[in-house]
Amino acid sequence: MTTFVLIHGSYQGGWIWQPVANRLRAAGHAVYAPSLDGCAERKHSLRPGITTETHAAEIADLLFYEDLRDVVMVGTSSGGMVLCRAAEMGRDRISRLFFVDALALLDGERIRDIVRRSTAVPSGLAAGPSREDAENRLFADLEPQTRAWALDRYTLHPIAIYENPVKLDSFWNQQWPAGVIWCRRAVNPGEAHQRRTAEKLNAQWHELDTGHYPMLSMPDELTALLTAKG
């Protein structure tokens, strides 16, 4: 049995991982897929001060309080930023990292340094796409039933992750067993960014012929990559 911690990205919550989490649990694995502060069912806690670093602290606390060890930590989209900081904070509890079409910024970088056209439109303490934009572009490649399910659940994301530079003290100076999964049909964060992640971490490289949400569009294939040996 392997313990997986699945970290969602912007406009998402733990719900985005449901198809993959169900498959992992059916195979006997332990799975944690928390919704981060201010997101999804926790949207009512939205307030100033929610950052990539506070999200990462939540994940690090989860590892500690649940006493999780030999964890496979998986991050998607902006959840890759959270993964890097959380892994740095809980180094001795991590066995492997997976970046699923994910942002993995260097210390001091901002999302706008990597993503040239963001759907994140500011709206007070949060940012995100309109429902129309989410339907016609963000989730456009999903099957109609899955697209409707996701549209009913997407939420705006705490705005500081778009405005603040990432803080990483030691992540990129350490050795991490890692895999990078690039989704060929996704515009952002793009192949070049994910190649950089793979090269810096000497990570295994994988590709899926799908858009930015493989956990919804190709859950069987994604689950197989996350559980493959080696």
Quick: pLDDT tens for 32-83: 999 999 999 999 999 999 999 999 999 999 999 999 999 999 999 999 999 9
Q: What is the mean pLDDT of residues 154-163?
A: 94
SS3 128: strand
Q: Which residues contact 43 (CB under 8 A, 6 or more apart)?
A: 155, 156
118 has a pLDDT exceeding 80:
no
Cα separations in angstroms, 173 against 107, 127, 168, 169, 193: 11, 32, 10, 9, 18
Least Cα distance to 43 among 161, 130, 157 occurs for: 157
Q: What is the mean pLDDT of residues 104-132?
A: 85
Do 206 and 225 meet the contact criterion of CB atoms below 8 Å apart? yes
Cα separations in angstroms, 105 against 36, 108, 114, 146, 177: 19, 8, 8, 30, 18
117 has a pLDDT exceeding 70:
no
Look up the domain containing 63 and give its range.
3-227
Per-residue pLDDT, 115: 85
- Tokens at residue 125, please? 């303490």
Choose the weakest-confidence range: 52-56, 97-101, 116-120. Answer: 116-120
Per-residue pLDDT, 120: 66
Structural domains in the chain (count): 1
Q: Average pLDDT over the chain, rounded to whole?
A: 95
Least Cα distance to 12 among 72, 77, 63, 59 occurs for: 77
Predicted confidence (pLDDT) per residue in 187-212, tens digit = 999 999 999 999 999 999 999 999 99
SS3 94: strand
Instruction: Note the pTM of the prediction, 2 decimals.
Output: 0.96
Predicted confidence (pLDDT) per residue in 107-116, tens digit = 999 998 888 7
Choose the weakest-confidence range: 16-25, 48-57, 120-129. Answer: 120-129
Per-residue pLDDT, 160: 94
CATH number for 165: 3.40.50.1820
How sure is the predictor about 119, in pLDDT bands with cuts at 50, 70 and 90? Answer: low
Element (H, E) at 156: none
How sure is the predictor about 91, in pLDDT bands with cuts at 50, 70 and 90? Answer: very high
